[in-house]
Copies of this chain bind each other. A is one copy, B any other.
Amino acid sequence: MKFTNVIGGFWQDRQSLNLNVSIPSIVKTFIETGRIRALSKELNENEKHHPFWESDLAKWLEGVLIHLQLKPDDELNQFAEKLIDKIIANQEEDGYLNSFFSLYEPENKFTNLKLRHELYCAGHLLEAALEHLKLNGTSRFLDAMERYMDHISDTFGIEPGKKRGYPGHQEIELALLKAYEQTGKAKFLNLADYFLSERGSQPHYYDEEERQRMSKEKIIDFSDFPSEIRDVVSSDMPDVEKRDYTYLQAHQLPVNQKTAVGHSVRALYMYTAMTDLARLKKDPKMLQTCISLWRNIVDRRMYVHGGVGSSHIGEQFTFDYDLPNDIAYAETCASIALMFFAERLSRIERNSEYADIIEKVLYNTVLASTSANGKGFFYDNYLECIPDFLTFQDRRHGIRDEYHTCSCCPPNVTRLIADLGRYIYSSCSEGINVHQYISSESSFKIDGDSVHLKQQSGFPWEGSSKLTLKKVSGKEFSIFIRIPEWESNLNVEVNGKIVSYQSENGYARIKKKWEEGDFVSLSFNFEPRLVRSNASVRYNIRRVCVFRGPLLYCLESIDNGPNLNQILITENQKIEVMTDDALTPGCITLSGNFKRIQSTTDNLYSTLKPELNDSKTKLIPYFLWANRGENEMLVWINEA
């Protein structure tokens, strides 16, 4: 049984869709494309196993195993068990466990950590195995993964005779720290600590690894690759010393990295692990690094929908304030990883900013990433979509695909939605933290007693939430209620009476002797609000986006006609709130009499000024865009 269950309302619908549609739909594509047959070397002649395929299965399994903890399902359980059997059947005598290398390239095991996702797969399998243990109490899957981790520990480390390697795609670090916390076994902590201490040190392991490969590997011509990739992958440069490993966050020791750079998912998985390490080892220097990285991201490198990693070239972070909308990358996985990072930081410090960002990501990029029917998934998360433009820029189109060749995002979403309960509350020495307004039930141990809390939330459509205490009798403790950054005057009532509160790091602290049936009613300001970018974001100057509560809104051409950039929000724009159940049940849309900038000539260029005409305009929640066919979409609207 999970600590927190999502019960009823908006998010339970999403969890049901996740379990009943997304999870079967994804595994269907995995079966069809050979990801499961690859485990037993049953691929057809034209199919090719990929080094990252096992991670796709692992993430999918993890989501399933979490769902099974929430609600048993024999059929799904049996499927998962069989899949686990197939995976661990490939374990070798010495503990090595990777179907791609064991079955297809045994001679290349641990020869290219930099590029071939070997330890990345290990990390995802370990995470899935940890959920298997939670589900069952014992786990042959985790036993197998522990043997594999032991083998990895025997292979890599600073001790004489070991390779001083570390993953090219970080992930295993955070998995190891989860394993440590769940099992208490210090060896997991130590291996993660080693990876995060060794990374980026000189002489550089990847130079050494490449030198060893160069003698036996065929030279590939990478001259047509984008330069960032080329620097990392090309094996035809004789002077391997000059490589720049920024892309892999291996350009310097993690503890010395203060700016979010390189491949965004690699970066954020690593920052997540670094935060855990800082907490578990009580390392103030590492914590300071994590906070610097966090500030760099949320103050300068994050889209307003919670997307990060703005360049599709290398899927990477770029530079401060570089947040293009129509060529945004903002990979779904990167936003999920940002949630991980935020959640880990929130374990160290109660600060509403972390849950604010989690809310932003959850209600916007994460929700948007899945189609309303649960089957399609975004990889890139645009903030402006012009279908023809994407075609000519050779970018993914503005419609959710049911299958992606690189299929990291879909199962990352399903495991996140399954695990949503993790983000709603946390316990602390003084009582309970309420981070998210999601209908749910949860149990807490307070001074040894079990306290039960039920939340009924109107989010995201209504700005209200009610917390009801159960199984409690006269126990004094505090409930810390997050005041969202967009809420200037949160109304809190206890048992129907307004209470005043102190705000501590963005949380309203309500301290009292709580009795069975006590309830806290929260009223949030859900008036639509206009949000602006810092003027250093060149793309958004003189533009606003519209939020209502946690939800970002957008324009689609299906409602407003083409040329969405012609639409203008004017001073004191009146915005009406309406319901549109056709988009999704309960959906709130916004509308108003906006203006439209129109030319007074057909000429392409002229000295004439345009005119402003009235334009009845409708906005829909960003997360629902592209559910009525591919069409134009715009988040940042011109403001008079």
Q: Which residues of A contact B (CB under 8 A)?
A: 224, 226-228, 298-300, 302, 304, 310-311, 313-314, 316, 318-319, 321-322, 324, 327, 386, 388-389, 391-394, 529-538, 541-542, 563-566, 597-599, 601-610, 638
Contacts and interface: CB of A to CB of B under 8 A. Distances in A.
A536 B394 CA distance: 22
Of the candidates A316, A531, A541, A609, the one having the most CB atoms from chain B within 10 angstroms of its own CB is A541
Given A322-B392, A535-B563, 9 more contacts: A228-B392, A299-B602, A299-B603, A327-B327, A532-B607, A533-B604, A535-B598, A538-B565, A542-B542
B224 A566 contact: no
Given A542-B638, A566-B541, A597-B535, A607 B392 contact: no
Contacts of A566: 535, 538, 541
B394 A534 contact: no
A290 B321 CA distance: 45
A323 to B, nearest CB: 9
A324 B390 CA distance: 12
Of the candidates A224, A318, A564, the one having the most CB atoms from chain B within 10 angstroms of its own CB is A318
A602 B534 contact: yes
A305 B638 CA distance: 25
Contacts of A542: 542, 597, 638
6 contacts: A227-B391, A314-B392, A319-B388, A327-B393, A535-B566, A538-B565
A302 B605 CA distance: 10
B604 A388 contact: no
Contacts of A531: 605-607
Of the candidates A538, A602, A606, the one having the most CB atoms from chain B within 10 angstroms of its own CB is A538
Of the candidates A327, A532, A603, the one having the most CB atoms from chain B within 10 angstroms of its own CB is A532
A535 B392 contact: no
A317 to B, nearest CB: 9
Contacts of A310: 392
A542 B570 CA distance: 14
A638 B541 contact: yes
A464 to B, nearest CB: 22
A338 to B, nearest CB: 14
A324 to B, nearest CB: 8
Contact of A563 (B228, B532, B538, B638): B538
A606 B532 contact: yes
A542 B599 CA distance: 11
Contacts of A313: 392-394
A-B complex: 7 closest residue pairs judged by Cβ atoms: A538-B565, A226-B394, A318-B392, A535-B599, A311-B392, A313-B394, A319-B388
A243 to B, nearest CB: 17
A589 to B, nearest CB: 21
A604 B299 CA distance: 5
A318 B389 contact: yes
Contacts of A602: 299, 534
A472 to B, nearest CB: 38
Contacts of A598: 535
Contacts of A391: 227
A247 to B, nearest CB: 11
A334 to B, nearest CB: 15
A326 to B, nearest CB: 8
A227 B394 contact: yes
A95 to B, nearest CB: 36
A532 B392 contact: no
A563 B536 contact: yes
A311 B608 contact: no
B299 A534 contact: no
B565 A386 contact: no
A168 to B, nearest CB: 20
A564 B538 CA distance: 8
Of the candidates A319, A321, A392, the one having the most CB atoms from chain B within 10 angstroms of its own CB is A392
Nearest to A405: B223
A608 B319 CA distance: 24
Contact of A316 (B302, B304, B392): B392
Nearest to A323: B604
